[in-house]
Amino acid sequence: MLDEAQLLGLKDTHITLDANGLGLHSDCRAALSRLQARGLQQGFDLQVVSGFRSYERQLAIWNAKASGERPLFDENDRPLAVAELSEEALLHAILRFSALPGTSRHHWGTDLDVYDAAAVAPDYQVQLSTAEVTPSGVFGPLHEWLDVRIAAGECESFYRPYDRDRGGVAPERWHLSYQPLAEECVQLLSLQLVEAKLRTSDMVLKDTLLDLLPDIYQRYVVVT
């Protein structure tokens, strides 16, 4: 069971690193190794492009997007004109693809973004885009294989928390979550805990965010 600081991504004492510096919870890592072995038998080299992410890293991503230093895209991978958006519209545009700092499932070491290294050249830059994971996309076959395993309950306890559009976070087919531990973390995290941390943060759009936080928490954090 994670403590409050671990849930918020403020410390990483629950995380282990592999030789490449990838951070995951040890329970998640063991399950991932089993899933990778199954994938290799089918010709897939399932690798992770993103695992554990700290609060500070998530905050840096947020602030870069909110200030226009990092591009924002819509569901069709088209760039958005940040300067033309209201603060509320900008908040929702960010939250469609980036978690609010303190609420990212990547803080827990249970969630990871995956791709098939066997399908691309070694120097390929993974985009985590919709085009990559459609049935005709470069990683489509891997995800169709994962679809079958998840539906059959044979995916080493991994599932897709963002498998479809529920009006909050956009679908992320590349995002897998280790369900036994992630479900515990969802129950432990609370609006009050997140709000207390955000009030002391130096995040862009903080005042508008705090005004809308109950709705945002329900729409983007609870509903998965």
Each of the 224 residues of the chain gets a pLDDT tens digit; together they read 899 999 999 999 999 999 889 999 999 999 999 999 999 999 999 999 999 999 999 999 999 999 999 999 888 888 998 889 999 999 999 999 999 999 999 999 999 999 999 999 999 999 999 999 999 999 999 999 999 999 999 999 999 999 999 999 999 999 999 999 999 999 999 999 999 999 999 999 999 999 999 999 999 998 65
Query: Domain range spanning residue 182?
Result: 4-222
pLDDT of the residue at 213: 97
pLDDT of the residue at 77: 81
| Kind plus residue range of the DSSP H or E element containing 158 | strand 158-159
Q: Structurally, how many domains does the chain consist of? A: 1
Radius of gyration, alpha carbons of the chain:
17
Query: What CATH number did the domain enclosing 37 receive?
Result: 3.30.1380.10
| Kind plus residue range of the DSSP H or E element containing 16 | strand 15-17
Helical H segments across the chain, by residue range: 4-7, 26-41, 55-66, 87-95, 130-133, 140-151, 179-188, 191-198, 206-216
Which residues are CB-neighbours of 144 under 8 A, at least 6 positions away? Answer: 135
**Single-letter residue type at 165:** D
User: Which DSSP category does 116 fall into?
Assistant: E
